[in-house]
Structure 1
Amino acid sequence: MTAARPTLVIGTKNYSSWSLRPWLLMREQGVAFDEVRLPLDTPEFYATIGRWSPTGRVPVLRDGELAIWDSLAICEYVNERWLAGAGWPADLAQRGHARAVSAEMHSGFAALRGECPLDVVRRTRDPIGAEAKRDIDRIGVLWRDCRARYAGGGAFLFGAFSIADAMYAPVALRIESYGIDVGPVERDYVATLLSLAGMREWIADAQAEQAGKRDPAR
């Protein structure tokens, strides 16, 4: 039997892009959950993660005795378990498109990830390399195409907020942190993501984490 309230185990909010994705989906869709946050790359993390995750990584969702790891797998489970399918667009063609867009994010854009790791509080405008720029350009193509097709349904990639938006939320934070130049459609979409209550909460928690590191009294 599964528990009434699941537990989402995540990493440091300033750095853990993979954790943000299912966390944001659950927050924005009103799924009640307990949060366990483990500081990445610390003795505490390595001493604790084994009791939560079979892979030794975050994020992992615990629903009773069941463990679901991998950010996209968690989103899919949440969609079926608590959202009655509302995490994806209702239309079959849009749903297929949203899954393809999300899978490309899940498995691709290695150059952008490597050169611009998530760092929520960072603010810089150093130029990015050619390979990371190609990733940003491809993401821009995806975003502009979605907005052109589905803008009539709302401000997100497929109109209403969906798993696809949760998957790209860390990119919005990277664009802010690294001062990456993007076009007006992309800028508007970044602003839409950053205005979400869940994103504002995540950013505030990341800022508090980093402030705590600088506070000698803590």
Structure 2
Amino acid sequence: MTLKLVIGNKNYSSWSMRPWLALRANDIPFEEIFIPLYTGAADKQRILDFSHAGKVPILVDGEVTVWDSLAIIEYVAERFPEKRLWPEHPAHRAHARAVSAEMHSGFAALRNECGMNLHRPVRAIELSEDARANIARIEEIWADCRKRYGRSGPFLFGRFGAADAMFAPVVHRFRTYAVAVSEETQRYMDAMMALPAFAEWTKAGLAETIVIEKFETA
């Protein structure tokens, strides 16, 4: 039975991007169900019909329904172990899970000040001290992972995996808001943006015409 992934607008929905990218980049077949966000009660009810949490993304696998980006990625990793979404070595896998969880629960200032919006013209903004600290920590995570585990490929743990999917929207944020980054960070961003699945999501997001005013920032 084909998986179904319920997502929001590709231009804005960073949480939808994460499991979508994990699936697509690892050639896991799924049916995409798009429900536009903040368009009214009817579309909100469509989301609620899939999950009472009322948020995207949502994964449906037969009688199993999973919501929340990281929970979906964990489920997919168990469902398709041959895809190796997490590193095989226990210590490496623990590290990948730790940085993914940190991304999942942290970096509020960066999220709030640099919302994902693929249509936004590339330009820098004045960032708070907290947002700059978030950026420094993310660069530290990426550099540390690349130094420890990146010998076998251009991604955080060598091959593309769950941790890269969790950080993927940050690549868009850094690019869109013209964040000054190190050469090492830029190399990682370039590798991510060159990934066919990443490019596919970006192209589709740029083709969208729905504007959500609350996400349109300076």
Bucket of the pairwise TM-score, normalised by the shorter protein: over 0.9
Q: Which residue of 2 aligns with 1:168?
A: 167
After TM superposition, the runs of 4+ consecutive aligned structure 1 residues lying more than 3 A away are none
In the TM superposition, what whole-angstrom CA distance separates every residue of 1:27-66 from its partner, at most 9, and x where no partner exists?
0111100001111111242131111122010000011121
Could you tell me how far apart the structure 2 residues matched to 1:22 and 1:73 are?
Answer: 9
Q: Which residue of 1 aligns with 2:197?
A: 198
Q: Which residue of 2 aligns with 1:26?
A: 23
- Compute the RMSD of aligned alpha carbons: 1.2
Could you tell me how far apart the structure 2 residues matched to 1:151 and 1:48 are?
Answer: 41
Amino acid at match of 1:31: I
Q: Which residue of 1 aligns with 2:150?
A: 151
CA drift of 1:129 comes to: 1.8
- Structure 1, unaligned runs of 5 or more: 214-218
Could you tell me how far apart the structure 2 residues matched to 1:45 and 1:118 are?
Answer: 21
Amino acid at match of 1:95: R
Amino acid at match of 1:180: V
Within the candidate set 12, 16, 23, 1:15 is matched to: 12
Could you tell me how far apart the structure 2 residues matched to 1:25 and 1:85 are?
Answer: 10
CA drift of 1:127 comes to: 2.7
Instruction: Determine helix, strand or coil for the equivalent of 2:81.
Output: coil
- Structure 2, unaligned runs of 5 or more: 212-218
Aligned pairs, how many?
209
Instruction: Determine helix, strand or coil for the equivalent of 1:186.
Output: helix
Instruction: Determine helix, strand or coil for the equivalent of 1:188.
Output: helix
Could you tell me how far apart the structure 2 residues matched to 1:85 and 1:202 are?
Answer: 20
Amino acid at match of 1:39: P
Q: Which residue of 2 aligns with 1:134?
A: 133
Q: Which residue of 2 aligns with 1:183?
A: 182
Task: Give identity over the alignment, percent.
Answer: 46
CA drift of 1:79 comes to: 0.6
Could you tell me how far apart the structure 2 residues matched to 1:14 and 1:86 are?
Answer: 28
Amino acid at match of 1:96: A
TM-score, length of structure 2 as denominator length: 0.92
Instruction: Determine helix, strand or coil for the equivalent of 2:33.
Output: strand
Could you tell me how far apart the structure 2 residues matched to 1:142 and 1:13 are?
Answer: 26
